[in-house]
A and B are shown apart, each in its own frame.
Chain A
Amino acid sequence: GENVEQHPSTLSVQEGDSAVIKCTYSDSASNYFPWYKQELGKRPQLIIDIRSNVGEKKDQRIAVTLNKTAKHFSLHITETQPEDSAVYFCAARLSNTGNQFYFGTGTSLTVIP
């Protein structure tokens, strides 16, 4: 299967600063990489995704970059706000297996007002 590692496990930033979360994956057959945000006691919600044929994708204050050669991808949040505080999970999907995702262990982001 796939092994996804995520760093850091916790991250605190001042409001307005940027936050970066990094993930690596092991299987070069992975071709789809979603990011989920999970607030305490709630469901994971998809916030952005990237496919393996793209190097970068942006949606307002959120961007994701993918380096296929190095097998790593990152989430960038700019101009952070207190409501960005949550746990963020990266995931990878193998193209040649079922449709399951392999999730990282999560990053707990705290934005300090």
Chain B
Amino acid sequence: NAGVMQNPRHLVRRRGQEARLRCSPMKGHSHVYWYRQLPEEGLKFMVYLQKENIIDESGMPKERFSAEFPKEGPSILRIQQVVRGDSAAYFCASSPNRGDYGYTFGSGTRLTVV
């Protein structure tokens, strides 16, 4: 089992560009979560998805951020018109269902906006 796969590991974008972060959950996991970690801070929940459904996006900024988890393929976190404040580590996690499980996190994507 390859675990939760995220790519790219590092992403550099200029202000105003778009960033696309990908997450493939563990085999058999149908629940995906995105978290953001600012430098020297804890993890903040962004969005919770199941296949083709957004279950909870209460942690997503109202503008420029969107997420999807299509029937086929990885989950995508998309950030439009990036700004310097978007620079952070973005972690994806997955679980087999909505239960009392500790997540398995991916290795993260470190986004740097220059």
Q: Tell me the A residues contacting B by CB distance below 8 Å.
A: 1, 6, 31-32, 34, 36, 42-46, 49, 51, 89, 93, 97-106
- Verify if B106 is at the interface (C-beta below 8 Å from A): yes
B59 proximity list for chain A (CB < 8 A): 100
A18 CB to nearest chain B CB (Å): 23
Task: Mark B18-48 against chain A: 1 for CB-CB distance below 8 A, else 0.
Answer: 0000000000000101010000011111001
Interface-central residue, B45, B59, B95, B106, by most chain A CB under 10 Å: B45
Contact of B108 among A6, A43, A49 (CB under 8 A): A43
Inter-chain CA distance A36–B98, complex, in Å, is 19
B102 near A34: Cβ-Cβ < 8 Å: yes
A105 proximity list for chain B (CB < 8 A): 41-42
Tally of B interface residues using CB under 8 Å: 25
Inter-chain CA distance A97–B35, complex, in Å, is 17
Q: Can you list 10 A-B contacts (CB < 8 A)? A: A36-B102, A43-B91, A43-B108, A44-B105, A46-B103, A97-B56, A100-B56, A100-B59, A101-B45, A103-B44
Q: Tell me the B residues contacting A by CB distance below 8 Å.
A: 31, 33, 35, 41-45, 48, 55-56, 58-59, 91, 95, 98-100, 102-108
Inter-chain CA distance A98–B99, complex, in Å, is 10
B31 proximity list for chain A (CB < 8 A): 99
Closest to B33 in A: A100
A49 near B102: Cβ-Cβ < 8 Å: yes
B110 CB to nearest chain A CB (Å): 8
A42 near B107: Cβ-Cβ < 8 Å: yes
A43 near B95: Cβ-Cβ < 8 Å: no
Contact (A106, B56) CB under 8 Å given A44-B91, A101-B103: no
